[in-house]
Amino acid sequence: MLMSEGVEWGLHCCMVLVWLDDRAPISTARLAEMFELPPEYLKKRLQPLVREGILESTPGSRGGYRLARSSERITLMDVVGAVEGRTEAFRCTEIRRRGAGSAAASSEFAKPCGIAGAMRRAELAWRRELTKQTIADLVADAPANAPTRARRFYERLTA
C-alpha cells in the first residue's frame, strides 16, 4: 500500500507539537523551517489534520498549530485516514464474472470472491494495527534526545 508523504509529515509534525506543547501555537513557517520545507507545502499537508480535528489552527500573526486533543487520543489511523481518506485500498469489481466466468451459473458466485476476502482481512489487520498505536506511543519510542533537540532547534528559530 502506497501512502503519500503527507502521512509522514503529519505524524512528524504531531510529534513536534507534543514536544513543544508548552508554547503558543507553532506557526506553519516555523514548522516548515524545522523540516526544511516550503511553508505552503506543509500547510496543505496539515489542513486535512485540522479538518479531522487532530490539529487546531489559530489564524493571525500569533497563530499556528497545536494538537486538538491529547497525543494519547490520536491514533496513527486517524492521521492516515485524514491525509489519505478512508476508502478501502482494494475494491472487488467481480471480474471473475467476465470472460470465461460469464457463462457460469450464478450459483457459482454465491460465495464472496476469495481474493476480495483475503484482501479485506489484510486491510482490516493493517487498520487495526494503526488504530492500536498513538502519537504518544511514537513519542515514547523516539530517541531520548529528540524532544530536547526539537526544542533547541525551535528556540534558535525564534531567537
Q: What is the pLDDT of residues 22-32, one digit of tens each?
A: 768 999 999 99
* Overall domain count for the chain: 1
Q: Cell digits for 73?
A: 487520543
Q: Is residue 126 within 8 Å of residue 132, measured between CB atoms?
A: no
* Residue 62: pLDDT over 90: no
* Residue 11: pLDDT over 90: yes
pTM summary value: 0.87
* Residue 151: pLDDT over 80: yes
Please give the pLDDT value at position 121. 95
**What is the mean pLDDT of the segment spanning 72-95?**
93
Structural domain that includes position 91: 5-158
What are residue 134's phi and psi, to 5 degrees? Answer: -115, 170
Print burial letters for 124-157: b (CB count within 10 Å at least 16), e (below 16).
Answer: eeebeeeeeebbbebbeeeeeeebeebeeebeee
- Which amino acid, one-letter code, is at 106? S
> Which CATH number belongs to the domain containing residue 87 in this structure?
1.10.10.10
Please, where are the H alpha helices in 1-145?
A: 5-19, 28-35, 39-51, 76-84, 114-132, 135-141
Report the percentage of the chain scoring pLDDT > 90. Answer: 71
